[in-house]
Structure 1
Amino acid sequence: MNGAKTAIEWLASAAPDPEACRREWERNPLGVTLLPAGSAWDVLILPGELGYTTLDVLTRFLGRPGPVLVDFGDARMGFLVPPGTAARWLGTGIRTAGSGTWIVVPHPGRSSPGGVRWLVPPDGSGTLTDPALLELAMHEAAAGPAAGNDR
């Protein structure tokens, strides 16, 4: 199975009706569908500027974090994390989507100009970003470059 097809299957498995989810992706001209958070993943939603810097930090340490979404105009970035994270998250200024919430999810194999899109698409393996590592990366990103460090 190719990567996009595997990712589609993994994402659709979170839907109450996976087949309806796949049909919605194919029929919706924006290539998006709504999926429930809280069973296969939660989402931590960071302001865009902090999100991009955090993603840079994570990528330096991990190579490839779990799936990451970005919304219209890059105002907010959503990191997919293990289920249950949203209920325990205490970070100020970070929104969460967990059990009882739904998120807009783009088709992993197509791009939607100007809409919600994947910065790091799911690979279908179920890999998610570790929330402890995400928190550390956010702290580093918020602190900015160390004094005297001219990267």
Structure 2
Amino acid sequence: MPTPLSATPTVAVDDWDVIRVPRQLGLAAMAILGARAGAVVEDPLPGALYFFVPCGTAAGWAAENTQAIPQGERVPLPPRRRTSGPGPHWRVCPGEDGWLTDPAALHAAIADAFGPRVGNVLEGSAGA
């Protein structure tokens, strides 16, 4: 039974899929996306951010350290007024323009948030 401080898990309806991203990676991706981020929920217990993406995105999603949650799965969905914890809350509230983040932009932001890999030499850097 949900408490007043918890979010009621809600079935992911036909309007969107969800990408679950670890908190630190998700915050970095949000910073990269800026105003291009759609609605985002933070759930402190697993330490995750949930990005809402177009329906069908989950089927082809492949980004390191993330999990695609397809339609019909449960995700925490706090009341629109809850913008801080404790418990699940909105990092970016759903706006009049909708809930969705462009999946290509999210994928690129996640890749950028990881930064250069150890052992990879950047073009134009010493040793190249």
- TM-score range normalised by the length of the shorter chain: 0.7 to 0.9
Say what the alpha-carbon RMSD is for the aligned residues: 2.4
Answer yes or no: is the 8 Å Cα contact 1:66–1:129 preserved in 2.
yes
Q: Following TM superposition, by how much is the alpha carbon of 1:90 offset from its aligned partner in structure 2, in angstroms?
A: 1.8
Residue of structure 2 aligned with 1:42, choices 13, 17, 34: 17
Match for residue 100 of structure 2 among 93, 109, 128: 128
Q: Which one of the candidate residues 60, 69, 74 is aligned to 1:97?
A: 69
**How much has 1:125 moved relative to structure 2?**
3.4
The AA in structure 2 aligned to 1:103 is V
| Residue 118 to residue 86, structure 1, CA distance change in 2 (3 Å) | same
Offset, 1:32 = 2.3
CA distance in structure 2 between the aligned counterparts of 1:107 and 1:124, rounded to whole angstroms: 16
2: CA distance, partners of 1:73 / 1:32: 12
* Alignment TM-score, normalising by the size of structure 2: 0.79
Amino acid at match of 2:68: T
- Deviation of 1:137 after TM superposition, in Å, equals 0.8
Shift of 1:57: 0.4
- The residue that corresponds to 2:119 in the other structure is none
In 1: Cα distance, 2:45 partner to 2:69 partner: 20
> More strand by proportion, 1 or 2?
2
The separation in 2 between residues aligned to 1:136 and 1:110, in whole angstroms, is 28
Q: Is 1:76 matched with 2:48?
A: yes
* Deviation at residue 142 of structure 1 after TM alignment: 0.7
* TM-score (norm. length: structure 1): 0.68
Matching residue within 51, 54, 58 for 1:86: 58
Q: 3-state SS of the aligned residue for 2:9?
A: strand
Does structure 1 conserve the Cα–Cα contact (< 8 Å) formed by 2:82 and 2:90? no
1:67-94 per-position Cα deviation (integer Å, ceiling 9, x unaligned): 0111115711111111111111122321
Q: Which residues of 2 match residues 1-150 of structure 1 at below 5 A?
A: 29-30=4-5, 32-59=7-34, 63-72=35-44, 75-111=47-83, 113-143=85-115
Give structure 1 stretches of 5+ with no counterpart: 1-26
